[in-house]
Amino acid sequence: MRHPKNVLFAGERRLPVLPAADHYAGSEKLMKKALQLQQELGPIFDLTCDCEDGAHAGAERQHAEMAAGLIHSAANHFNRVGARVHDVSHAHWRQDMEILVALAGQRLAFLTLPKPCGVADVQTQIAALRQIEKACGLEREIPVHVLIETHGALREVWQIAALPGVESLDFGLMDFVSGHHGAIPGSAMKSPGQFEHPLVARAKCEISAAALACGVVPTHNVTTELLDVDRIGNDARRARREFGYLRMWSIHPNQILPIIEAMRPDFSEVETAAEILIAAQDKDWGPIQHDGKLHDRASYRYYWELLERAHVTGMAIPAAAENRFFG
């Protein structure tokens, strides 16, 4: 029987299947703590080692070497650890890449590029990354995540999303609001303002629309709430249901599980997806009837991606579908 990945997306750019939470850690202590938590929970969240805000001035090389060492270490069980480098205007951004690729390129899940002022900045850093990969003898191309947090990047977000190698567009709320020089109030950096202020909501919609149209994952900004799991989960649910985001940043371990749970599909829909896909596979992906409704490849694509999202968030998949599609 043919697998849905081999049948349903011929000639199309597939949307990457990424864990629903991207957890940021800036210090060695917090990186190790996050790696331990990832080992306990499984690869249901990514870890990003922050070589930008996490590095002290003058210690950029040592910080990047430390992060690369952890990424290449036995503590990285699932190869779901990436890194954020300095922005293109910083003197050490290329050095960050050289160290990370040379020491951990085979296991580096992705690199995140912050603060581009437009598509040209992203192209510059991606071109450098490809040169460094080649110089290091790396045969794979490391995926790139791009932070959209400036006026210029938002203006050119569709061109950025369409660049080869871009896997995720991440919204940088704090820098975006700060870049408006007080025209957007500070209340828009937290909820409910971050979902209701028109300029912020516009940016979120534009980023999500560009990402999804170009086969790229839209990743939502952090929530400033660290302790109230209900508020954390509500922010993630609003990001998912109202703005189409499939992934969200975490900056504290308390945020990881509420984000993942909020981003998970509804279990009843997962059960429906499993039933439809099993019946479709039995018919070699021709049209079927299910519960009195007609289904074909258009709905199969929807349900297959839903089932993949459920699987990557650690949901229990009906056993028959688990064995067929993920065994």
- How confident is the model at residue 11, as a pLDDT? 72
- Give the confidence band of 64 by pLDDT, cuts at 50, 70, 90: very high
For 258-273, b/e burial (b = at least 16 CB within 10 A) is bbbbbbbbeeeebebb
Q: Where are the domains of the chain?
A: 13-263, 267-325
The 10s digit of each residue's pLDDT in 294-321 is: 999 999 999 999 999 999 999 999 999 9
Span 258-277, mean pLDDT?
Answer: 95
- Specify the pairing of strand 247-250 against strand 288-290: unpaired
- How confident is the model at residue 108, as a pLDDT? 98
Mean model confidence pLDDT for the chain: 96
- How confident is the model at residue 12, as a pLDDT? 76
Distance separating alpha carbons of residues 279 and 275, to the nearest angstrom: 6
Coil/strand/helix, residue 85: coil
Distance separating alpha carbons of residues 43 and 64, to the nearest angstrom: 23
Coil/strand/helix, residue 196: helix
CATH topology (fold) of 13-263: TIM Barrel (3.20.20)
